[in-house]
Amino acid sequence: MKKILFVLALSTILSACGEGQLKVQDQNVSDFQVQDVNATNFKEVIEQGEGIILDVRTSEEVYSKGYIQDASLLDYYDEDFREKISLMSKDKDIYLYCASGGRSIEVVKMMEELGFKRVYHLNNGLMDWENAGFTLVKDALAKDDKIEELSLDEFEAMLVADKPILIDFHTVWCAPCRKMAPIIDKVEEDLKDMAIIRRIDLDKSKEVGKAYSIQGVPVFVIFKDGKEVWRHNGIISEEELKVQLNNI
């Protein structure tokens, strides 16, 4: 009888500890953390943190309903969704949402498997966000004509140049990539006489990404005489990029 009462008490304690948090893998065997939060808390962690906002709805949903400012937009139903999500920085906090929470819960499980560290999951998705009266961005994403698709042979032929080459490894769905695009364009304009700058679509140039071990986006690599001489993952300032190019 005592044993039965002990088991029931332990079950009650464990249930209480799990409130407000998605149940994933045993915390003793994984350092993955996920917090299931409401819209108010979701907005707060976005504003206070430096992570990545991830919208996993379809493009039709995004353009008809709008999206949270600065979100990376990646369709859960894309056949290569898992491959694309692997390109995101796994050490950064991820602020994850979908329309009502169903798809994003499945993505949480996937992120644990892929080695992400911490996810804030918007409980009930954008339904909760809109019910809280928070705004969405409804403008269409600007088209970027400078993104290139290259085979490995084409890429390596491009590296044979008499100037340093800065490569911006980029995807169209990545919000940090979109933020960096005008900065890269400014660097290109200011240093056009001493460097070559190209923006490569990593989604469509998979051979290149695999050959050069590109693990995330955005990634910036400088080549000289066909060889890699510098690499940086993530957002970087215009000034730092110019310093690196001038030092090559």
- Fold annotation for 28-131: Oxidized Rhodanese; domain 1 (3.40.250)
CATH class of the region 147-247: alpha beta
In this chain, the answer to whether the domains covering 28-131 and 147-247 adopt an identical fold is no
**Residues ≥6 apart with Cβ < 8 Å to 54:** 71, 72, 74, 85, 88, 94, 95, 96, 97, 107
Residues of the chain below pLDDT 70 = 1-30, 140, 142
pLDDT of residue 248: 84
For residue 105, how many other CB atoms are within 10 A of its CB? 17
Helix residue spans in the chain (DSSP H):
2-17, 39-48, 59-65, 81-85, 102-114, 125-131, 152-158, 175-190, 206-211, 238-247
DSSP annotation string for 61-115: HHHHH-B-TT-EE--TTSTTHHHHHTTS-TTS-EEEE-SSSHHHHHHHHHHHHHT
pTM, two decimal places: 0.73
Q: How far apart are CA 168 and CA 146, in angstroms?
A: 11
Catalytic site positions = 174, 177
Instruction: Find residue 52's DSSP bridge partners.
Output: 94
Contact, 20 vs 36, CB < 8 A? yes
pLDDT of residue 166: 97
Instruction: Find residue 168's DSSP bridge partners.
Output: 199, 220
pLDDT tens digit string along 184-242? 999 999 999 999 999 999 999 999 999 999 988 999 999 999 999 999 999 999 999 99
Domains of the chain by residue range = 28-131, 147-247
Judge residue 245's burial from the number of C-beta atoms within 10 Å of its C-beta, 0-12 exposed, 13-18 middle, 19 or more buried: buried
For residue 173, how many other CB atoms are within 10 A of its CB? 22
Q: Tokens in use for 108? A: 């949480």
Instruction: Find residue 196's DSSP bridge partners.
Output: 165
**32, 55, 101 from 22: Cα distances, Å:** 11, 18, 12
pLDDT of residue 6: 36
* Residue 19: half-sphere exposure toward Cβ, Cα within 13 Å: 6
Q: How far apart are CA 127 and CA 133, in angstroms?
A: 10
Contact, 50 vs 92, CB < 8 A? yes
Phi-psi region for residue 66, left (φ > 0), alpha (ψ -120 to 50) or beta? left
- Looking at residue 58, the DSSP 8-state letter turns out to be -
